[in-house]
Amino acid sequence: MTTTTRPTTATGAPQLEPAPNNTLATWFNDGWITTRRNLIKIKRVPDILVFTTLQPIMFVLLFSQVYAGSIDIPGSNYTEFIMAGIFAQTVVFGSTYSGSAMAQDLKEGIIDRFRTLPMSPSAVLIGRTNGDLFINALSFVVMIATGLLVGWRVRSSILEAVAGVALLLLFAYAFSWVMAFLGMSVRSPEVINNVSFLILFPLTFISNAFVPSENLPTPLRVFAEWNPVSALVLAARQLFGNVPEGYQPGDSWPLQNPVLTVLIGVVVLLVVFVPLSIRKFRTISSR
């Protein structure tokens, strides 16, 4: 005889009653639980950790040691010039994990599992983008340490430098939402990886990240001057105090107002892709 009115269940015990899913507290809970899942993954999958820490070291060393002697930046040295470029490139690439991870979770049916649970529909995406943020923050620590070793110096104030790091991480975070949306739309982890490399390599290299854009052939120069990555790099360069003396960033509006451009970009990306991604999440399922 059971004393409850609920139907008898699996193990003969009464059903455990889930709390209603409508409070800010459950939203925070769900976001934290999914974030923790992604942090555990970073800890358990050595590839991610190795790639996240070794790749930035490699880039800093390659650019500062291999090209520094051959590329002359008037009014500065190449190591100081490229650090902002490497920061930007690394965090933008760091955002792509969200794309392949969402596609992978979809393929493996884990998204199906989450969607049958009474959890907040934004939680999986929040956890995922937080995972990218953590990876990028980790990369940043490694890059800063390596940069300082090879002679990079912050020539502004600590406060401005912190603002520079925050701006780069913020932009990358917003970009993670774009990638998460693409990952759910493209559905194939392999395709999303290849596509993001095909898009991000030109975007980061046809910019002012590694060489001043003024020396580029006209079509590429125009592209570089309107490229959001250029604005991001220039904004970071300004905040770290690494803009060479007499440097002509370019006449385009984004390069005249780089910090503002990045902030506007972040807001636009979040306003568009957060709702779009959540809406997408609410209807997707494995095939």
Asked if 108 touches another protein (CB under 8 A), the answer is yes
Angle between the N-to-C axes of helices 123-149 and 78-94, in degrees from 0 to 180, rounded to the nearest 10 = 160
Q: Report the amino acid identity of residue 48.
A: I
**Smallest Cα–Cα separation from 210: which of 79, 94, 96?**
79
Give the range of 111-119, 171-179, 203-211, 225-233 binding another protein by CB under 8 A.
111-119
Q: Which is nearer to another protein, 29 or 256 (CB)?
A: 29
Asked if 110 touches another protein (CB under 8 A), the answer is yes
* Element containing residue 18 per DSSP (H, E): none
Task: Tell me the C-alpha distance between 47 and 99, whole Å.
Answer: 17
- Please give the structure tokens belonging to residue 287: 């095939």
46-48-50-54 Cα dihedral, nearest 10 degrees: 180
**Smallest Cα–Cα separation from 101: which of 39, 168, 174?**
39
Q: Which of 28, 40, 214, 260 binds another protein (CB under 8 A)?
A: 40
Count of residues near another protein by CB under 8 A? 42
Encoded one letter per residue, x for contact with another protein by CB under 8 A and - for no contact, window 119-158 reads x---x-----------------------------------
Give the range of 7-15, 52-60, 78-86, 92-100 binding another protein by CB under 8 A.
7-15
Task: Tell me the C-alpha distance between 191 and 195, whole Å.
Answer: 6
Smallest distance, another protein to C-beta of residue 29, A: 7
Q: Which of 16, 24, 158, 159 binds another protein (CB under 8 A)?
A: 16
Give the range of 39-47, 71-79, 188-196, 238-246 binding another protein by CB under 8 A.
39-47
Task: Tell me the C-alpha distance between 124 and 140, whole Å.
Answer: 24
The burial of 53, by beta-carbon neighbours within 10 Å (0-12 exposed, 13-18 middle, 19 or more buried), is given as middle
Q: Which of 26, 55, 77, 188 binds another protein (CB under 8 A)?
A: 26
Encoded one letter per residue, x for contact with another protein by CB under 8 A and - for no contact, window 224-243 reads --------------------
Could you say which residues in the range 268-287 bind another protein, by CB under 8 A? Answer: 283, 285-286
Could you say which residues in the range 53-72 bind another protein, by CB under 8 A? Answer: none
Asked if 118 touches another protein (CB under 8 A), the answer is yes
Task: Tell me the C-alpha distance between 151 and 146, whole Å.
Answer: 9
Task: Tell me the C-alpha distance between 85 and 177, whole Å.
Answer: 22
Residues that bind another protein (CB under 8 A): 6-21, 26, 29-30, 33-34, 36-37, 40-41, 44-45, 108-110, 112-119, 123, 283, 285-286
